[in-house]
Amino acid sequence: MKYEEINTSANQDKLQLSDHTAQIYQDSLYVYGGRKGQEFYRNHPTNELWSFNLGKRRPFETLAWKLWKPLGESPGPRERASSFLFDHHLCIYGGKGAVEGDPKIKDFFMLNLSNLLKILKFFNI
């Protein structure tokens, strides 16, 4: 067994994250939120949703991350959120907001990954 590095240089400069949440759905890895790695954004969480196709690839192929823009109300910028998959939905709960000392976020979003990435339900707990 050995690690294989996957060439993801396309769009990689835009996706330097820490404290994000990630789930695998079908052949793709979905990454939400976290803190941006670029110096300008270092102290600001994001609410971006990215995907990376882990399916079949050709040798020496450069794979790219894709930025999604779901419809409807979306979760605010956050880091350290919890996520899980339920019945084709990416579920995102809580996290920490942008300002030091902010209370923890207590909202709950569900994103239907099988239906053109459209937000279906929003609950504020």
Tokens of 97: 């907001």
* Domain total in the chain: 1
pLDDT, averaged across the chain? 79
What pLDDT band is residue 60 in, cutting at 50, 70 and 90? low
State how far the Cα of 84 lies from the Cα of 103, in Å rounded to an integer.
Answer: 22
- In 3D space, the residue among 1, 41, 100, 51 whose CA is nearest the CA of residue 17 turns out to be 41
In angstroms, the Cα distances linking 104 to 3, 44, 59 are: 36, 15, 44
The domain that holds 49 is classified in CATH as 2.120.10.80
Structural domain including 101 reads: 12-124
State how far the Cα of 108 lies from the Cα of 76, in Å rounded to an integer.
Answer: 11
Q: Tell me what percent of the residues of the chain surpass a pLDDT of 90.
A: 25
User: Do the domain assignments include residue 70?
Assistant: yes
The model's pTM is 0.81
User: Do the domain assignments include residue 5?
Assistant: no
What pLDDT band is residue 25 in, cutting at 50, 70 and 90? very high
User: Do the domain assignments include residue 62?
Assistant: yes
User: Do the domain assignments include residue 1?
Assistant: no
